[in-house]
Amino acid sequence: MNKKTLTLCLCAVAFCAGLLIALIHEMKTTEKTDEGKEQIINPFYSQYSTPYRTAPFDVITLEDYMPAIKKGIEIAREEMDAITKNPATPTFENTIAAMERSGEMLSRATSVFYNLNSAETSPAMQALAQEISPLLSQYSSDMLFNKALFERIDYVYQNQDKENLTSEQKKVLRDTWKGYAEGGAKLSAEDQEKLREVSMRLSQLSLQFQSNVLKETNAFRLNITDEAQLAGLPKSAMDAAREEAEAAGEEGWTFTLKAPSYSAVMKYAQNRQLREKMYMANGSVAIKGGEADNRAVIDEIVKLRGERARILGYATYADMALEDRMAKDAKTVNEFLASLLEKALPAARRDVDMLKEYAKKHDNLDTLQAWDHSYYSNLLKEEQYAFNDEILKPYFQLENVIQGAFYVAGKLYGLTFTEVHDIPKYHPDVRTYVVRDEKGEFKAIFYGDYFPREGKRDGAWMNSLRDQNKVFGDNQAPHIINVCNFTKPTADAPSLLTFYEVTTLFHEFGHALHGMLSDVTYTSVSGTAVPRDFVELPSHIMENWAKQPEVLKVFARHYQTGEVIPQKYIDALMRSINYMEGYATVRQLSFGMLDMAWHDGRVDEYLADENHDLVKYERTAMAPTQLYPVVDGTAMSTSFGHLFSGGYAAGYYSYKWSEMHDADAFEYFKENGILSREAGEHFKNTILSRGGSAPADELYKDFRGRSATPDALLRRAGLVK
């Protein structure tokens, strides 16, 4: 069983119901039973017969998952039994490689389920996730606690010098051995049972947390019928709000907490009360009491994470999570965050003081609140640089920005992307592309899912439906998905992006390239299977090309006239790159500091107090970064999906850690050519194609010839001279 099957992500999302399910069932292939009756074949039971073996979304129904996952577990158990009962002396091939080849059908079903459970959910699918999660947790625990299996793994590990293993095989062996040795294989039966219960409950709580956030986010709708209250909002935001209202049979304009709707109000609405109302709604998600309140969920999650760590011999969850990451321990992380805060805090305070002065002059506002920041920041930016997002948006049509990202991938890595329409999709909005290399050889399938929906969680992310591998001999191409929540088209205009959305698209595409360009043998080290504090390097570095004038001139064209973005706008954009960078850096550091407070041991005292207060604890953790007055009735933690349902626990610092590496790495491209194919090949060959086949610090040194330092990051952010 490969590691990715063992560590299945637990997200939340749905597929189809009602008439659609009935129609899909009619389309399914059937076979004859022994009695001569026809029965529907579960699409997960065999290799897909679709183009490029893509997931057959057009025939998959909610009813297919449970039987496929149960059968997948059954088959995987039989495969693992065959490994443990093999009478031959354990070797890498008959033990580790055999494990890598196992669980294929289970991976097929779970990869589709959990991808959709993030991008297209429903109450029925969320309920099913709560049923599936314990089954997978039980199976994972059974494998990790299998002493006979671990004895074979340990034999191979202790005798590896007797085999002529490649460096990748050594890394896979080490990862597998460590995963089992420290995952419970050495524990007593009593501790194994405790760990099993903890793991199962944690998987359920993660799903519950995300379900609560989605429920609360979808529940908020602000309908306004007085247009005067919406002064300042651009036409694009007004059109989107009107369409939202019309779709619900409402008059006027309706705003939601989905990113495009929420951010438009916070940035442009002159009505301060409206901004405050939206801010309070967003900040109070899952903290208002009732069934969807996440405070008790968080308490139980952090308690169980600490318990899991102690069962496995670690003092804190952070100690356990960080051991195999580049940072290694909580002390290094906290010192890293503190050192950046020391550099950024003075600049952040200057940013806020500048806004306070501007708001006083502009509107005679005496006290600036958190819901004022985006609005006055945008106004001041427009005055200082003579442009704003609304001026730029006509030049950032989604289709053109996508082609811009493809252009960079072509220049650096020789890739071409051809949109096709014969690959099944899980939603009509999804776009599908066949990716080929410079020789025209098939490289990957790429899915782009760009618009918000009620069943899609907020944010942006990359996932894979199939990871690149060669475990069965042939090279199985990866199937990669980018999921975003960008501004939707309206009746009057296509999807036009803010520059922030442009960089988000490039960021997620960087993750996609990491998956698509993988060239390893074993699935467990394929693509993005790298330490959390290294995985953001390919995504962060990709953002740099969205900010290069020579790239902007390729994709930034007016959606109506085709005019290339004027040089004056490029110049203004370049001058404004570091605008409010001090504030943005401190804000990001505040999230990392909150994360560590939940996981580095300080939380034990919080949990020990019967009258503990989550909001008070959070504010204490974030106090060093507080730039605006505290707002009662709000909290960050209760909707902080990265920490409690997204895999970034004790790892949020990795965004800044990866930025340090990306700033340092991009200087290599500036030295050797921004669009240099030779530079791109070097980055691909040393980092992108190698996945997790070597330690992350080794991969970076292979690329750069040395370790990264914060110097380039601080220079780029304008925080040092």
* Residue 706 burial (10 A CB sphere; 0-12, 13-18, 19+): exposed
Res 35: pLDDT: 53
Answer for the pair 387, 543: CB distance below 8 angstroms, yes or no. no
- The answer to whether residue 34 scores a pLDDT higher than 60 is no
pLDDT digits (tens, 9 = 90+) for 399-442: 999 999 999 999 999 999 999 999 999 999 999 999 999 999 99
Residue 176 parent element (H or E)? helix 167-180
pLDDT digits (tens, 9 = 90+) for 664-691: 999 999 999 999 999 999 999 999 999 9
Please, what sign has the CA dihedral across residues 447, 448, 454, 456? positive
Look up residue 486 and give its DSSP letter.
Answer: P
Q: Which of 166, 170, 168, 145 is nearest to 156 (CA)?
A: 170
Amino acid letter for position 346 = P
Q: Where are the beta strands (DSSP E) in 556-672?
A: none
Q: CA-to-CA distance for 467 and 452, rounded, in angstroms? A: 26
Beta bridge partners of 417: 435
Count of alpha carbons within 13 angstroms of residue 68, beta-carbon side: 25
- Angstrom CA distances, 60 to 23, 38, 105, 426, 444, stand at 11, 18, 15, 9, 22
Contacts of 426 (CB under 8 A, 6+ apart): 15, 55, 57, 116, 119, 120
Which CATH number does the domain 3-186 belong to among 3.40.50.300, 3.90.70.10, 1.10.2020.10, 1.10.1370.40? 1.10.1370.40
Domain residue ranges in the chain: 3-186, 220-283, 397-561
Q: Measured at the alpha carbon of residue 361, what is the angle toward residues 356 and 363, in degrees to the nearest 5?
A: 90
The stretch 533-550 carries a mean pLDDT of 96
Q: CA-to-CA distance for 312 and 76, rounded, in angstroms? A: 25
pLDDT digits (tens, 9 = 90+) for 179-233: 999 889 999 999 999 999 999 999 999 999 999 999 999 999 999 999 999 999 9
Return the CATH architecture of domain 397-561: Orthogonal Bundle (1.10)
Compute φ and ψ for 365, nearest 5 degrees: -90, 125
- Only one residue has tokens 């252009």, namely 407
The stretch 591-605 carries a mean pLDDT of 97
Contacts of 35 (CB under 8 A, 6+ apart): none
Domains 3-186 and 397-561 share a fold: yes
Q: CA-to-CA distance for 55 and 120, rounded, in angstroms? A: 15
Res 40: pLDDT: 65
Mean pLDDT of the chain: 93
- The answer to whether residue 25 scores a pLDDT higher than 90 is no
Q: CA-to-CA distance for 136 and 143, rounded, in angstroms? A: 11
Positions annotated as catalytic residues are 508
Answer for the pair 230, 238: CB distance below 8 angstroms, yes or no. yes
Contacts of 370 (CB under 8 A, 6+ apart): 279, 628, 629, 631
The stretch 621-635 carries a mean pLDDT of 97
Q: How confident is the model at residue 238 (pLDDT cuts 50, 70, 90)?
A: very high
What b/e string do you get for 452-489 counting C-beta neighbours within 10 Å, with b at 16 or more? bbebbbbebbbbbbbbbbebeeeebbbbbbbbbbbbbb
In the chain, pLDDT over 90 holds for what percent of residues? Answer: 90
Give the pairing of strands 253-255 and 222-224: antiparallel
Terminal Cα-to-Cα distance of the chain (whole angstroms): 51
Contacts of 540 (CB under 8 A, 6+ apart): 507, 510, 655, 658, 659, 661, 662
Longest dimension (CA), the chain: 84
Res 183: pLDDT: 87
Beta bridge partners of 531: none
In which region does residue 210 sit, left (phi positive, over 0), alpha (psi from -120 to 50) or beta (all else)?
A: alpha
Q: Measured at the alpha carbon of residue 72, what is the angle toward residues 15 and 430, in degrees to the nearest 5?
A: 25
- The answer to whether residue 721 scores a pLDDT higher than 60 is yes
Helix and strand numbers (H, E) in the chain are 31, 9
The stretch 141-156 carries a mean pLDDT of 96
